[in-house]
Amino acid sequence: MNLPIDPGEAIVVVGALATKPADRNLERHQINPVQVLTVDGVEPVRALDCGEFGMSSLVIRPAAGVVYGSSGNDFFRLDLATGTVTDLGIDLEDSHEVTEIDGSLWIANTGRDEAVEVDLATEQVARRVPVRSVRGSRPAPAPSSPETDGGETVDRFHANQIARALDGKLYVLVHHVDGKQIVRYVAQRLVKMQGNGGVIELETGTPIALSLSGPHSIECVGTDEQWICDSRAGVLRVYDRDWREHAQIPCAGWGRGVSVSPRSGRVYVGISSIRKRYLQVIPTSHHSRNMIQAFDVAGRELIGETNLAHVETINNVYVVSRETGERLLRA
């Protein structure tokens, strides 16, 4: 099945090497952290061959002629005209998603469970907001696990995106709404168990438990829907503005990175191959290759897909104009 792409658009895919050596099949020199897909094929963005493992997230601002990005522990600006990459000196640890909201860049600083706001005008940190969950919530319990030979509970939300939802509020997407992550040893390998993911209102700490397993990538689709990758479950979940679930759309596996085409309205989703340490705890039907899938919004169905080489994990997907894609390749 081929991936449908509008001739006037490009799909920018961000990826990396597996962070743990035991999960790897490739070496860093074989990784193209940023690739541009068009109707004519796939090309790597040489100016963004950055990071020890690859890239985590981008904010592409063609009107300003810049791209902001992170490989996890850094934050930089790429000048599209000159190809110059400038490190902005922002202290991060395992950052995931970077999102532009109302004149600020919001970084999910996952390693420290905090939301970092960067003022676009000054490119300086405006504030750091620790992720918290107010007491009194009733998060969904973690699912039962296979036979293990040990385990523990650690204090962690695993915050991986800040987003403005349809109700106008800022939310943090987290793997654990109660801030408790269960880790177990399966066949002598440390495995993070999932199942109580959801969103937390950033300013108030109010949690909304959605029973998600390793969720990633909130995306507003139209004016009435917000889609989230329920990554371990291998589905896209569709919610209304009140976080009521309206649909589940099967995808090929571990989804991360969702973007909507302004021209066609199609939704593009990044799918990563399952890491070796999770093979015993994720159903075999979800053991996919690295790929991009396209979905029809009205029919809620898969309409195309393509495999992607030179990455071990896909971290983000962005639909941009064909012109912007070509500017990235020239940088």
Assess if residue 313 is contained within a domain.
no
Is 51 within the bounds of a domain? Answer: no
Q: Mean per-residue pLDDT for 240-262?
A: 96
pLDDT interval class at 266 (50, 70, 90): very high
Is residue 65, in this structure, part of any structural domain at all?
A: no
- Inside any domain, residue 176: yes
277's CB contacts (< 8 A; 6+ apart) are 20, 22, 23, 186, 189, 190, 191
- Domain encompassing residue 157: 132-211
Task: Assess whether pLDDT exceeds 50 at residue 317.
Answer: yes
Tokens of 123: 């490119």
Q: What is the pLDDT of residue 276?
A: 60
What is the overall mean pLDDT for the chain? 89
Structurally, the chain folds into a number of domains equal to 1
Per residue, the 3-state secondary structure of 51-95, as one string, reads CCCECCEEEEECCCCEEEEECCCCCEEEECCCCCEEECCCCCCCC
**133/31 Cα distance (integer angstroms):** 37
Which helix (H) or strand (E) segment is 300 a member of?
Answer: none
Please give the average per-residue pLDDT across 182-199, as a whole number: 60
| Neighbour-count burial for 223-259, b at 16+ CB within 10 Å, e otherwise | eebbbbbbbbbbbbbbbeeebeeeeebebbbbbbbbb
- Give per-residue pLDDT as tens, 132-167: 999 544 444 444 333 334 456 567 899 999 999 999
- Cα separation values, 2 from 51, 61, 252, 254, 330, Å: 31, 29, 14, 20, 26
**Does 180 fall in a domain?**
yes
pLDDT at 111 over 80: yes
Summarize the confidence of residues 213-240 as an average pLDDT.
96
287 pLDDT higher than 80: no
> What integer pLDDT is reported at residue 180 of this predicted model?
81
- Other Cβ atoms closer than 10 A to 21: 7
The answer to whether position 42 is within a domain reads: no
pTM assigned to the model:
0.90
Q: 107 is written with which tokens?
A: 């970084």
State how far the Cα of 174 lies from the Cα of 184, in Å rounded to an integer: 19
What pLDDT does 153 receive? 59
State whether residue 326 is helix, strand or coil: helix
Whether residue 266 contacts residue 295, with contact meaning beta carbons closer than 8 Å, is answered with: yes
User: And the tokens for 103?
Assistant: 């004149």
User: In the prediction, which pLDDT does 1 show?
Assistant: 67
